[in-house]
Structure 1
Amino acid sequence: MSTIIRLFIGDLKRITSNIVSIILVIGLVTIPGLFSWFNIAASWDPFANTGNLKFAVASVDEGYSSDLIPVKIKVGDSVVNALRANSQLDWTFTSEADAIDGTKSGEYYAAVIIPKDFSEKMMTFFTSDTVNHATLTYYTNEKANALAPKVTGQGADQVAAQVNQMFAQTLTSTALSIASGLIDQLDDPQATQMLGSFNQKIGDVATTLDDTAATLRTYGTLTDSASSLMSSSVKLIKTASDEAKNTKQQAESAKSGASDVTTALNSASSTLSDALTASATSFDAVSTNIDDVYASASKSSTDMVASLRAQASNVDDQRAKYQSIRDTVAALDPSTTIGTDAQTALLDGLDRIIARQTALRDSLNTAASDLESKNELAQSQRQQIKDLAAQAQSSVTSVKSEFNDSLKPKIDELSTSLTTVAATIDNSSSSLNSTIDDLDNTAANANTKLTDVKSTLNNTADKLTAAANKLSEFNEAMQDALNSGDMSKVRDLLGGDTDALAATLAAPVALKRHAMFPVANFGSSLAPLYTFLPLWVGSLLMAVTLKTSVSRRVRDELERETGRPARPHQLYLGHYGVFATIALLQSTVSCGGTLLFMRVQAVHPLLFMLDGWVSSLVYSLFAYTMVVSFGNVGKAIGVLYLVVQICGSGAAYPLQILPDFVSALSPWLPVTHSVTMVRAAIAGIYANDYWLAMGKLLLFVPPLLLLGLLLRKPLVGFNRWYVAQVESTKLL
């Protein structure tokens, strides 16, 4: 520590050892303050001088008159007369050609032209024609100055606002003046007639307002009905929600049933096809067995009779099964299954099979009976039985073909349809509960909104009713006065200051402003920008003007005084002492002069000074560390930070209106936090914002010390190489 103090004291002695170094230090101390004071004074209240900006106004308005208003109205002239009394800009009233040419030449910063049909278009609501917007033509010279178009643009907005107010005032004043002017001519029957017509119009307006209020209340009543309906709907939806669970269970059962039906249909189709095949084979077997029976000559008649009766019994069983199939097919609904034509054809085929099976059965039984009595006759019936068996087999084959071609595809199609229905039921049952929940929430929200709508409608209706009542009272009073024939009552009713009333009606709403953390003037608002950026520049000037390294002679002196060589961290901290001293002098002179001489607003002047002292120390440490660590590259880094902080610190423009990358960089800039602190000192502290910003500013110190004390050593070789390369050019 003693070495650091010795080095610091020695630097102070050396820097004050001759007049040149003293003048240099005075320049470093005062330059930031001069920069601040000059710019703050120039920006103290620039908008107070907007009266020096020439703004041309030319009116070529030809005016307007109608049967309703027997007075020619020139809104343009009224606007010009109002602007003559306005001193916010240097209004120059001239011709249209001069206004346009003067704006081009730069004589005027901007010009507004009021066109010929201005009054006519503004008064179009007195006619049955479509209402047209009146327009002003605005010319501006944007090359004259960067801010002048913005200021004169506000002037153009002011003209537009003035026009709107003057129009309402002129319209109202004209109408009231006509009514008041009639007071002096009340004895004239025409004037009395016009007043009667005027009063009737007022009555009509009052009636219209009453009707409108009644309509709004009707809509309010409708909202009550809608609310009740919505409440009932909510209950119904809740009931439906409960039923949805049962519906889902039924849907799952239906899905299961559909699957069972599909399986049964597929099984029945397969089984019936197999049965038809087996039946055809069986009739072929009957024919074969008949041959075997008659070929067995050695067999006894008793055995032959038993065999024939067994065959007849088998044929009868087949016939019974075909009869069951026939009954089942006849019971099907042809519109949903195989179709009417296919069903009729299939039934005819089955009827033929049954008839031939019946005949075959009867022939077999008859043959058995005849065999018992007359063997020779039985032999003669052999061929007849074989023919019947062949015919039965042929019918079965035909029916099987008809089944495969007509019925089986329909059964397969029906099975596929049932599978699809089962899937649809499954999906519908899963979404049913979700849909009902959404309906429940929507109904509740709609009910709340209906309540708000009803309240708004009723409030509006009350206001319209109040206005209608006032107009009705005036209408009744005027009608009573006219009916009485006493013109003094009419004079009393219409008397008053029409101009004052017109002005009130033209601008019925006044704006009352309340400033949060008020700032007295524009110079105080810009003080953060013009105070702390110069302090950053002062730190850069120190790093450029003063040596950041300790000379060999000074190090030898320290070694002789202390008996040991100075270590790098002692040289770094000790030599920074002179930078810190000059930085504190800079901030004291700059901030103190800003408060004492410029009279910048400061709710907390001591915190204003504290901000300057802490900021100047951090800025000087930044510049000193960068140059010590990187040499000339460090100076470039300091300049780069200066460029970024001009717009990125939020000292001039709000960060919200700047590009996103500027807002992202802002927290990493030291001046940003200094600006936050000084704004709190100028206008007032909110929620410790001053101290939080100081903490963020001091967070820059640890990484700077880390770089200057530790990480700087590996950069020594780079700096030597860089210096050698620069010196080799013989120019730098």
Structure 2
Amino acid sequence: MNAIITLFVGDLKRITSNVVSIIIVIGLVTIPGLFSWFNIAASWDPFSNTGNLKFAVASVDEGYQSDLIPVKITVGDSVVNALRANSQLDWTFTTESDAIDGTKSGEYYAAVIIPKDFSEKMMTFFTADTVSHAKLTYYTNEKANALAPKVTGQGADQVAAQVNETFAQTIAGTALSIASSLLDRLDDPQAAQMIGSFTTKIADFADDLDDTAAMLTMYGTLTDSAGSLMSSSVELIDTASGSAADVKSQVDSAKSGAATVSDALASASDTMTDALKTSANSFDAVSNSIDDVYASASKSSDDLAASLAAQAANVDRQRAQYQSIRDTVAALDPATTIGSDAQSTLLDGLDRVIARQTALRDALNDAASDLTSKTADATAKRQQIKDLADQAKASVTSVQSDFNKSLKPQIDALTSSVNDLAGTLTSGSTSAADAIDGLRDTADSAGTKLADVKTTLNETAATLTAASAKLSDFSTKMKDALNSGDMAQVRDLLGSDTDATAATLAAPVQLKRKAIFPVANFGSSLAPLYTFLPLWVGSLLMAVTLKTSVSRRVRDGLETAIGRPVRPHELYLGHYGVFATIALLQSTVSCGGTLLFMRIQAVHPWLFMLDGWMSSLVYSFFAYTMVASFGNVGKAIGVLYLVVQICGSGAAYPLQILPDFVGALSPWLPVTHSVTMVRAAIAGIYANDYWIALERLLLFVPPLLLLGLVLRKPLIGFNKWYVAQVESTKLL
């Protein structure tokens, strides 16, 4: 340690021993700071000077006027007038040819041309079935400057935004102008006739809304009936103990909820279809169970009679639900739903189902009664019940087919009108017992979902009814006003909502910005780039200007002073002392001047200084070790690191927008971690990010020590050979 300190003190004396060496040290100390201050000052707030960029605007818009809109609208002129008050760019309003030629020559950085049909295309939603986008033509001179096209591109966005704002205001003003024009022309008989026709159409539309509301209410009632039918079918299958392996997946489709009107309609349609399928399968279960009932010799006749009576009761409940469905279908207006022929066919089928269910119910009850009285007719009823069950199934299947051909397409069509389709959930059943249990759970769940379906349909129907009432009220008042000949009443009705219309069309959307870790200015944002890359350059300049080896004369004097031979590691560490001293002076002057003179933002100024001190020590130790170990090759390595760190450190561009290999290299670059630290010092620390980055920066020191203290010795022979080869050229 004594040798290291002695060598360090001697180097300080020698470097300050004459004027030339002092001037060199002063230059090494101040160059990084000058580099930083100049660039930070130049980048302090460049975007406040965008008003100096010439941006040409030329409008050849011919305007728009139609029979519907008696006011001529020229959006291009309105945009030009609005931009005249905007100072964010140097807007130059000129002709189309001058704008294009000026952009080519470099007189303008960019130009926007508003074409002849601009207003016409912007107003196409008044005149065309499909809206056509209005287009601006944007010219930019990308040769003039690298960043100017990006800045002027923002100017083009400003023009587009100004167009949108102006258009909204124009539409609002146009709406008011049209209303005012109509009010002024109300005394014209032709205007009164047009208003009368308009009023009639409103009344017709109100009637259509009423019809739709009534239809939705009918579908809600139909959904109720389908839910009840489903429950009774499951009870019948349960009682008959029949196989229902594929029924569960059909019933489960009712679980597709009804958050929207289209979901509700789809659920109603699918649920009705599935309920009919389930009902048909239930009669299969009745038919299949009859043989089991009569074959159960071990059971008493009373038990068998009770089983048959239970089945009869379930069949009767189904019959009641089919009667409810029939009543609902009969109440539908065939003109607006399925048509009279289809409705008649469906009603006939439902009547057959009800009749056969009644016969099946009576047969089951008669069989139960015969078993109870132990009459000989009981066995004869067996085949009759099976035949009636098969007939009931055939009738239900026929009704299902009629439903699918007539009413279901109408429901599906209404569903598609709100642009949604219902989905169906499917699931399997592993056994007959599981299917029956699942059917019971599904029926309970379906009941809840179908209640939601009905609620949604009824709420929508109520909304449509309310809208219809408002339109009908307006239509009635307008007709009364026109019939009375009192144009003052008409003016009041037409003029009452013009302000609301204008506000709706021109409603602005505001963006509220809230910065996280705010930075006061652009200069402070670029301070990481323009502070730590100069410190790296300063370290390279030291390695180039100062010797990294100790001369024979100095070594002999050191050995005389300590009274023993000096060791290589003492020379290596002791001579680095002067590099470390100059590096600390560089970072103190650069970072201190940035804080005191440039007045950049720093939430933690002392951490800003600590970052500078630690970074300059690591940078200088890197340059010193590379040159001491590899000679001129080490200098080239330092320059290579400088080149890579300009973009790879993330000090300028976000790493996420750069090529992947740059992001992969970034953690292996010292400046990357210095930049992370200084940003935390400037804007604020989050989750110890400053200290984590400091630890990562210091991780570069151990490999450098390993290279300088251990691996450098085998490289001495290589360096001597390299120097000899270079000197042999007589040029290097």
TM-score (norm 2): 0.64
Specify the alignment match of 1:77 in structure 2.
77
Looking at structure 1, the residues matched to 546 and 92 of structure 2 have their Cα atoms a distance apart, in angstroms, of 56
Specify the alignment match of 2:261 in structure 1.
218
Specify the alignment match of 1:122 in structure 2.
122
1:701 paired to 2:701: yes
Contact 1:539–1:619 (8 Å) recurs in 2: yes
The 1:688–1:74 alpha-carbon spacing in structure 2 relative to 1, beyond 3 Å, is same
Contact 2:179–2:494 (8 Å) recurs in 1: no
Contact 1:481–1:487 (8 Å) recurs in 2: no
Deviations 1:621-671 (A, max 9, x none): 000000000000000000000000001011111111111111111110000
Specify the alignment match of 1:545 in structure 2.
545
Specify the alignment match of 2:727 in structure 1.
727
Deviating more after overlay: 633-642 vs 167-176: 167-176
> Within 5 A, what are the aligned runs for 1:79-478?
79-128=79-128, 130-183=130-183, 217-222=260-265, 224-225=267-268, 475=474
Deviating more after overlay: 581-590 vs 467-476: 467-476
Q: For 2:666, give the aligned amino acid.
A: S
- Aligned-residue Cα RMSD (Å) equals 4.0
The 1:199–1:537 alpha-carbon spacing in structure 2 relative to 1, beyond 3 Å, is farther
Contact 1:648–1:672 (8 Å) recurs in 2: yes
State the secondary structure of the residue aligned to 1:179: helix
> Within 5 A, what are the aligned runs for 1:21-32?
21-32=21-32
Q: For 1:724, give the aligned amino acid.
A: A
State the secondary structure of the residue aligned to 1:712: helix
Looking at structure 2, the residues matched to 478 and 435 of structure 1 have their Cα atoms a distance apart, in angstroms, of 57
State the secondary structure of the residue aligned to 1:92: strand
Deviating more after overlay: 479-488 vs 600-609: 479-488
Contact 1:58–1:93 (8 Å) recurs in 2: yes
The 1:203–1:510 alpha-carbon spacing in structure 2 relative to 1, beyond 3 Å, is farther
Contact 1:33–1:589 (8 Å) recurs in 2: yes
1:634 paired to 2:677: no
- Point out the structure with max Rg over C-alpha: 1
> Within 5 A, what are the aligned runs for 1:560-579?
560-579=560-579
Specify the alignment match of 1:297 in structure 2.
none
Identity across the alignment (%): 77
State the secondary structure of the residue aligned to 2:139: strand
Specify the alignment match of 1:282 in structure 2.
none
Contact 1:57–1:92 (8 Å) recurs in 2: yes
Contact 1:202–1:471 (8 Å) recurs in 2: no
Deviations 1:124-143 (A, max 9, x none): 22224543222211111111
Looking at structure 1, the residues matched to 531 and 589 of structure 2 have their Cα atoms a distance apart, in angstroms, of 11
The 1:192–1:610 alpha-carbon spacing in structure 2 relative to 1, beyond 3 Å, is farther
State the secondary structure of the residue aligned to 2:72: coil
Q: For 1:135, give the aligned amino acid.
A: K
Specify the alignment match of 2:717 in structure 1.
717
Specify the alignment match of 1:615 in structure 2.
615
Contact 1:481–1:489 (8 Å) recurs in 2: no
Looking at structure 1, the residues matched to 462 and 679 of structure 2 have their Cα atoms a distance apart, in angstroms, of 46
The 1:75–1:196 alpha-carbon spacing in structure 2 relative to 1, beyond 3 Å, is farther
Contact 2:209–2:468 (8 Å) recurs in 1: no
Looking at structure 2, the residues matched to 58 and 119 of structure 1 have their Cα atoms a distance apart, in angstroms, of 14
Contact 2:206–2:467 (8 Å) recurs in 1: yes
The 1:231–1:633 alpha-carbon spacing in structure 2 relative to 1, beyond 3 Å, is farther
Looking at structure 2, the residues matched to 230 and 697 of structure 1 have their Cα atoms a distance apart, in angstroms, of 71
The 1:580–1:221 alpha-carbon spacing in structure 2 relative to 1, beyond 3 Å, is same
Q: For 2:621, give the aligned amino acid.
A: L
- The runs of 5 or more residues in structure 2 that have no matched partner are 217-258, 279-425, 435-444
**Offset, 1:198:** 6.8
Contact 2:175–2:501 (8 Å) recurs in 1: no
Contact 1:58–1:112 (8 Å) recurs in 2: yes
The 1:177–1:212 alpha-carbon spacing in structure 2 relative to 1, beyond 3 Å, is farther
Specify the alignment match of 2:231 in structure 1.
none
Aligned pair count? 522
State the secondary structure of the residue aligned to 1:58: strand
**Offset, 1:565:** 2.0
Specify the alignment match of 1:64 in structure 2.
64
Q: For 2:73, give the aligned amino acid.
A: I
Deviating more after overlay: 139-148 vs 484-493: 484-493
1:494 paired to 2:464: no
Deviations 1:453-504 (A, max 9, x none): 99xx99x979997996998599579849946837389459737996x97477
Deviations 1:115-158 (A, max 9, x none): 11111222222224543222211111111111111111121122
State the secondary structure of the residue aligned to 1:565: coil
Looking at structure 2, the residues matched to 605 and 207 of structure 1 have their Cα atoms a distance apart, in angstroms, of 74
Looking at structure 2, the residues matched to 638 and 115 of structure 1 have their Cα atoms a distance apart, in angstroms, of 56
Specify the alignment match of 1:510 in structure 2.
510
Looking at structure 2, the residues matched to 632 and 23 of structure 1 have their Cα atoms a distance apart, in angstroms, of 24
Specify the alignment match of 2:440 in structure 1.
none
Deviations 1:208-237 (A, max 9, x none): 99999998953131354489799999x9xx
The 1:461–1:611 alpha-carbon spacing in structure 2 relative to 1, beyond 3 Å, is farther
Looking at structure 2, the residues matched to 211 and 526 of structure 1 have their Cα atoms a distance apart, in angstroms, of 67
Specify the alignment match of 1:262 in structure 2.
none
Q: For 1:575, give the aligned amino acid.
A: H
TM-score (norm 1): 0.64
- The runs of 5 or more residues in structure 1 that have no matched partner are 236-433, 441-446
State the secondary structure of the residue aligned to 1:730: coil
Q: For 2:265, give the aligned amino acid.
A: L
Specify the alignment match of 1:643 in structure 2.
643
State the secondary structure of the residue aligned to 1:708: helix
Q: For 2:703, give the aligned amino acid.
A: P
The 1:33–1:118 alpha-carbon spacing in structure 2 relative to 1, beyond 3 Å, is same
Contact 1:169–1:503 (8 Å) recurs in 2: no
> Within 5 A, what are the aligned runs for 1:649-688?
649-688=649-688
Specify the alignment match of 2:43 in structure 1.
43
The 1:217–1:657 alpha-carbon spacing in structure 2 relative to 1, beyond 3 Å, is closer
Looking at structure 1, the residues matched to 656 and 547 of structure 2 have their Cα atoms a distance apart, in angstroms, of 41
